[in-house]
Structure 1
Amino acid sequence: MRVLLLTCALLALAACKEEEVIRPLPVALTEDAVSHYCQMNVMEHGGPKAQIHLDGLPDPLFFGQVRDAVAFLKSPERDNRVLATYVSDMGAAESWLLPGTTNWIDADTAHFVIEAGVRGGMGAPEVVPFAEPGDAAAFVSEFGGRVVGLADIPDTEVTGPVDPDMTLQEPAS
C-alpha cells in the first residue's frame, strides 16, 4: 500500500511539473514574410525587422519594424506565450535598406538604440537593435539617441500615435 501511495504521489508531482519548452531558433526571412500588423511584405521595406515565436503556432510572426514587435511584446492582449523574440543585428546588416535575412539576434540580449529619430521600414520612429555595444554606440554617435536593453524600452517609444509631420532621418542605404 505504501508503494502505491508513493507511486501516486510521484505521478501527481510529474503531472504538475510545467512542461519543458524548447526555444525555437530564428527563421530566415523570405519573400513570403508579411508583417503581422499590416500584412505588407517585410522585405520590401528597409530598416531592422523582428520575429516572435509563440507557443502553439508553427511559424513566427514577422514585423516590418522592431518598434512594432516591442509594442506586441508589451501588449497584454495576446493569447499565446512568447517562446522567443529575434531582431535584426544592424551591426551585421549590409545596409539600412538591406538589413539581412539571417543575422538574427536574441532580443533579450540585444542593445537597442532609442530616441535616434530614424525612420523604420513602415515610416515610424524605429528602435534599432545591435548585437555589439560598440556598434550601438557608433550608431548613437551618428544619429543620436541612447542605448537600452529590451526591458528598458519605454512604452512611449513603441506605442501611441505617430506624428506624420515628424522629421525623421533615414540612414544611408
Structure 2
Amino acid sequence: MNEVTHPLHRTLRHPLQRRTLLLAPLLTLALAACGRDEQASPVGPVEIDAHTTCDLDGMLLSDYAGPKGQIHYVGQAQPVFFCDTVELFNTLLRPEQVKPLRAVYVQDMGLADWDQPHGHWFEAKDGFFVLGSKRHGSMGATVASFVREDRARAFMKDWGGHLLRYSEIKADMVDLSGGALHDGRM
C-alpha cells in the first residue's frame, strides 16, 4: 500500500488531526488521574437537614433518633444517607457492594443528642461501636457510634452492649432481613 492510499494517512492529512490522535492517549491518562485524585482527595461530611432522606427507605433522617450515617462514593457529588448505622453497615458489608468509597461518616453519640442527632460526624473507620445495647435508633436495635472508647464504655454502663471496632462488625450483626419482613402481625 502506498502512502497516498493508506486509510490512516487519508484521515490524518491535516496537522490538527494528527495532533488530536497524539493527544488522545494523554487525555485518557489525565482523566484516569482525575478519578484517582478524587479518590485520594479528602471529602468532608455533609450535614443533614429537614429534607434529607435515607437512601434505602426514603425516611426523613431528622424525624428519627439515634446515630445516622453517610457514604461518599467515588464519582458521586453527594453522599448517600442512612437513618441508622445498621442500614449503613448492612450496605457496606453486602457482598455486592463494589462501588469505590471515598469516605464513610457516622455521628459521635458521645456528643450528639440521641433524640435529635445533628453534627458531630467522624470517619467510621476510626470509631468505637456498641452493638446490642438497649438504646434504639430509627430501625430498632442499632449500632451506637463513638469517636472515643471511654465514651463508648460509659454508654455501655448505662445501656449495655459490647464494644467493637469498625473492622470487627460483620454482615450477620447488621442483618436487615428481620423486622416487618418477619412480623406476622402485619
Could you tell me the TM-score, scaled by structure 1's length? 0.79
Q: 1:63 to 1:163 in 2, by over 3 A?
A: closer
More strand by share: 2
Q: Given the alignment of the two structures, is residue 99 of structure 1 paired with residue 127 of structure 2, yes or no?
A: no
Structure 1 residue 160 displacement after superposition? 4.2
* Number of residue pairs matched by the alignment: 151
Residues 66 and 87 in structure 1, CA contact (< 8 A), matched pair in contact too = yes
Residues 93 and 171 in structure 2, CA contact (< 8 A), matched pair in contact too = yes
More helix by share: 2
Residues 90 and 176 in structure 2, CA contact (< 8 A), matched pair in contact too = no
Task: Give the 3-state SS of the residue equivalent to 2:125 in structure 1.
Answer: coil
Query: Which stretch shows the higher mean deviation, 152-161 or 127-136?
Result: 152-161
Q: 2:135 aligns with which of 118, 125, 148?
A: 118
Residues 56 and 80 in structure 1, CA contact (< 8 A), matched pair in contact too = no
Q: What is the one-letter code of the residue matched to 1:46? A: A
Where do 5+ consecutive residues of structure 1 fail to align?
1-10, 167-173
Distance 2:179 2:73 in 1: 31
Q: 1:25 aligns with which of 32, 44, 50?
A: 44
Q: What is the one-letter code of the residue matched to 2:136? A: R
Q: What RMSD, in angstroms, separates the aligned Cα atoms of the two structures?
A: 2.3
Larger radius of gyration, structure 1 or 2?
2
Could you tell me the TM-score, scaled by structure 2's length? 0.73
Where do 5+ consecutive residues of structure 2 fail to align?
1-25
Q: 1:146 aligns with which of 162, 174, 183?
A: 162
Equivalent position of 1:171 in the other structure: none
The runs of at least 4 consecutive aligned structure 1 residues that moved more than 6 Å come to 14-18
